[in-house]
Amino acid sequence: MTRAVLSLGSNLGDRAAHLREAVAALGDVVMAVSGVYETPPWGGPGPDGRESPPYLNAVVLAVDDDDDPYAWLTRARQLEQTAGRARDPGWQYAPRTLDVDVITVWTAEGASVVSDDPDLVLPHPRAHQRAFVLRPWLDIQPYAQLPGHGWVYDLVRADPVAADLPTLRPCAELSLEP
């Protein structure tokens, strides 16, 4: 058995529907779902100077009988495929229908999984810099810790995350509660 925090993001097409469908497809593994936030694109413009549109973001806490952390990566890729995500080799942070990142995974004993395999880096190597991950995460786990970086509560109160917090817009009208 493993538990995981997954970050969901969409900035292409019907953004809310992509998030809703991802939560529905996760089904019974979902333990808790954060609020939805509209967030400015992180990662800068594309090579031609084109700006990425704003995202809708949310975070899910999930549990699975499978002991293998890679099962979360497989699930994430399946959800992205179902949403019709296309990759752009010329722009890493190109707009996408659905992005699912595995933020952190715990074993049945509660140990954090640490991995430097490029296919599954755990915890996610950029999560500690991302208000669009940490703020929704606090909604569902106020005492969360990001392994290697400490309390999520502290991370959102220090720069660079604190500087981005005012740019997040809570979207109370878009609940993802199953």
Ligand X SMILES: Nc1ncnc2c1ncn2[C@@H]1O[C@H](COP(=O)(O)OP(=O)(O)OP(=O)(O)O)[C@@H](O)[C@H]1O
Ligand Y SMILES: Nc1nc2c(c(=O)[nH]1)N=C(CO)CN2
> What residues make contact with ligand Y under the rule CB under 6 A?
9, 39-43, 55, 57, 93, 99, 101, 132
Q: At its nearest, how many Å lie between ligand Y and the CB of residue 41?
A: 5
| Residues of this chain, 57-76, that bind ligand X according to CB under 6 A | 73, 76
Q: At its nearest, how many Å lie between ligand X and the CB of residue 100?
A: 7
Count of chain residues binding ligand X (CB under 6 A)? 13
Site string for ligand X, 79-108 (x = CB under 6 A): -------------xx-----x-xx------
Q: Is 48 in the site for ligand X (CB under 6 A)?
A: no
Q: At its nearest, how many Å lie between ligand Y and the CB of residue 126?
A: 8
SS (H, E, C) the chain: CEEEEEEEEECCCCHHHHHHHHHHHHHHHEEEECCCEEECCCCCCCCCCCCCCCEEEEEEEEEECCCCCHHHHHHHHHHHHHCCCCCCCCCCCCCCCCEEEEEEEEECCCCECCEEECCEEECCCCHHHCHHHHHHHHHHCCCCEECCCEEHHHHCCCCCHHHHHHHCEECCCCCCCC
Nearer to ligand Y, 47 or 67 (CB): 47
Residues found near ligand X in the complex (CB under 6 A): 73, 76, 92-93, 99, 101-102, 119-122, 124, 126
